[in-house]
Structure 1
């Protein structure tokens, strides 16, 4: 797969050293990027949006995963569906706008017209022998997990999505994303390989020195530490946090909010992790003052102090659900050294901007954090290009989840490329 001047992909995969970062070609090689798009993004469940992106019948949203153009629609039966965004006539892109509302899907080239179920309804001048039923839009596997939309480009999607969905639904249900709305969204082009963006997310080793906004609502001891390096005061703080976590989980679960950690990052094809964590300060939300950003709480939640639920999925997403709002993130690779990070902030569908919430306050913490992380990812990408780069060791206390991401990635590549 790689040319003769490079180490073959299979050799790179099999010599990967657990506990260490990946070799440079995994972050820089166009050939490995193409393999990633085929093996990872072409075969697994990919998070792409939320049901409030298409809240009403006729609403449509487009996106690209590599070379695959996708349109997601809500049909007249209120079902969310996904199709290849390609007209079955001569291949023109069917829906051109990122978000739009339609009665039917009409190709602008020759007016071939499709229903929201993908069936071809109108194709003029095609002759008596033309079979409309053979030219429906090509469907893409699409699932909603309590309002989070996933698609799979494979004809044979991983079946363990059902396992994740069954385990995660009770955690997500109280936040009722289906009855939320997208208050704001923002795209960033990160100057790094998609794996570097994901690795950066999977640890907070870097947070104290780089994320002054994010570290306000978060407890430092919630993201790992080396016990042997703590002084007496720090050990007491760590013990207090552990006690707070136990007490909070017990209290939240008694109120119907599943909270305990569940982790399957590298032992399932559809890898995931979740846990509800307490927040510092007033303990209500991911905001600069740690208070709720929206007066109208999500779902039927009546107490803003139910912590923050995080939910990660392999290969491309992470999410934070508070009582007052949710923030969802998806990573879509653009090329070997650039990635699209798409972030959406959601509030209750009846919340009114300027009355119930302020956009700057709602988005401030994660907007700043995303920009900071983008810079850090760029530093890593620049380093991976250097002939001096070699895989470095992960901290066993603070980067163990990065290691699990890489374990998952290598495991999936082995499964497809072969032993």
Structure 2
């Protein structure tokens, strides 16, 4: 609860640069409600991939706060989004996370909707009833080369198309639309959604907490302090910098855009991308750094293409490799619980047990997600303590956390001042 001295406006406008947020941002139900209104009901939210609805009639449901959303592939193979609410008396149409239908039928009174959202059958409504104005309410949807984003607002941020134009050349070679979901994990972290994002936006904690992830992934890719390193770490960091430069040159000669684009706090639809080299044999996010799937993505002839990292504000990060893709969406449940949904995608022609093994495919990120969940819970417990006060971010390793918080504060400032 907010105390008598705190208001949302005073908290937002009083945020200290370079420091974590005041405790109510992580613990207050009132701030959480404002987060949903200002952030998750107004911005482009990553919800899944086109392979979630791979065939006409496929339906996937996604919960964003109080809103339940249907993602549907219609008979013309177009992906659409609607609110999961019957236009008769408001019953929820689909309860399952995924299903396949011919039409969308409300089991309450049998109102029936086509896959394009139009009402096609409403029994016993009389001759004066006009079904044309009672179709399902649409939700704004964009597919970024197969990554699905929705916006619940009537007037969504207009800059998403600019983001898409810049990111499409990076993502397209991995051919998301030509993949299938090999595995999905839903993990509830016992912490505020902003702590989940803060934890993701830095690798300051990686060496001490992620022994699996730091086998293929260089922690140096997200900042370091050379003056504080011992000779071995400094040598590894310098090796990484050299590998990064030569790898970018090689990948771009292959037609793979690779260099950093960083706009996390400079636009409403903030994002960041860069293709990063991997350690060891450098093929994939696995414990031996070799490909987890023997069938490459897209038209790749090799899996040794580094890992393309793509982040979006406020709720996603993704890793595109030569042999598979890992996508993450963050969906707040309440002020102290957050759903982290992870999907592992492989070439649609790959066969489980022949071309890939699930355990090996998911090993690194399953371990990393569990470790991150423990860290987020630890921070949530600290934020609940009367001793908590905002602490300083490292300027060398937590600069991307600061950019996330600046983006968040700017969006909240817009919310309270307009």
* TM-score tier after normalising by the smaller chain length: over 0.9
Query: What per-residue deviation string (whole Å, max 9, x for no partner) do you get for residues 31-52 of structure 1?
Result: 0000000000010000000000
* Partner residue, 2:347: 348
Is 2:314 aligned against 1:303? no
Measure, in 2, the Cα distance between the counterparts of 1:119 and 1:231.
65
Measure, in 2, the Cα distance between the counterparts of 1:130 and 1:219.
63
* Partner residue, 1:162: 161
Residue correspondence of structure 1 range 11-410 to structure 2 within 5 A: 11-410=10-409
Measure, in 1, the Cα distance between the counterparts of 2:46 and 2:5.
32
Measure, in 1, the Cα distance between the counterparts of 2:234 and 2:165.
37
Q: Is the 8 A contact 2:2 2:24 kept in 1?
A: no
Query: What per-residue deviation string (whole Å, max 9, x for no partner) do you get for residues 279-305 of structure 1?
Result: 001100000110000000111111111
Measure, in 2, the Cα distance between the counterparts of 1:254 and 1:3.
55
| Structure 1 residue 408 displacement after superposition | 0.2
Secondary structure at the residue paired with 1:40? helix
Measure, in 2, the Cα distance between the counterparts of 1:277 and 1:362.
19
| Structure 1 residue 231 displacement after superposition | 3.9
TM-score by length of 1: 0.98
Secondary structure at the residue paired with 2:40? coil
| Structure 1 residue 229 displacement after superposition | 1.3
| Structure 1 residue 3 displacement after superposition | 5.7
Query: What per-residue deviation string (whole Å, max 9, x for no partner) do you get for residues 95-126 of structure 1?
Result: 11110001110111111000011000000000
Measure, in 2, the Cα distance between the counterparts of 1:261 and 1:408.
19
| Structure 1 residue 222 displacement after superposition | 1.7
The 1:139/1:235 distance shift into structure 2, 3 A limit, reads: same
Measure, in 2, the Cα distance between the counterparts of 1:223 and 1:361.
26
Secondary structure at the residue paired with 1:69? strand
Secondary structure at the residue paired with 1:332? strand
| Structure 1 residue 239 displacement after superposition | 2.3
| Structure 1 residue 228 displacement after superposition | 1.6
Farther off after superposition, 6-15 or 332-341: 6-15
Secondary structure at the residue paired with 1:245? helix
Root-mean-square deviation (CA, aligned residues, Å) is 1.0
Secondary structure at the residue paired with 1:310? strand
| Structure 1 residue 76 displacement after superposition | 1.0
Unaligned segments of structure 2, at least 5 residues: none
Q: Is the 8 A contact 2:49 2:146 kept in 1?
A: yes
| Structure 1 residue 232 displacement after superposition | 4.2
| Structure 1 residue 6 displacement after superposition | 4.5
| Structure 1 residue 5 displacement after superposition | 2.3
| Structure 1 residue 4 displacement after superposition | 5.8
Secondary structure at the residue paired with 2:142? strand
Measure, in 2, the Cα distance between the counterparts of 1:123 and 1:234.
69
TM-score by length of 2: 0.99
Secondary structure at the residue paired with 1:139? coil
Unaligned segments of structure 1, at least 5 residues: none
The number of residues matched between the two structures is 418
Query: What per-residue deviation string (whole Å, max 9, x for no partner) do you get for residues 246-295 of structure 1?
Result: 10000001001100000000001000000000000110000011000000
Measure, in 2, the Cα distance between the counterparts of 1:277 and 1:170.
16
* Partner residue, 2:413: 414
Measure, in 1, the Cα distance between the counterparts of 2:153 and 2:264.
21
| Structure 1 residue 77 displacement after superposition | 1.2
Measure, in 1, the Cα distance between the counterparts of 2:243 and 2:228.
22
| Structure 1 residue 63 displacement after superposition | 1.3
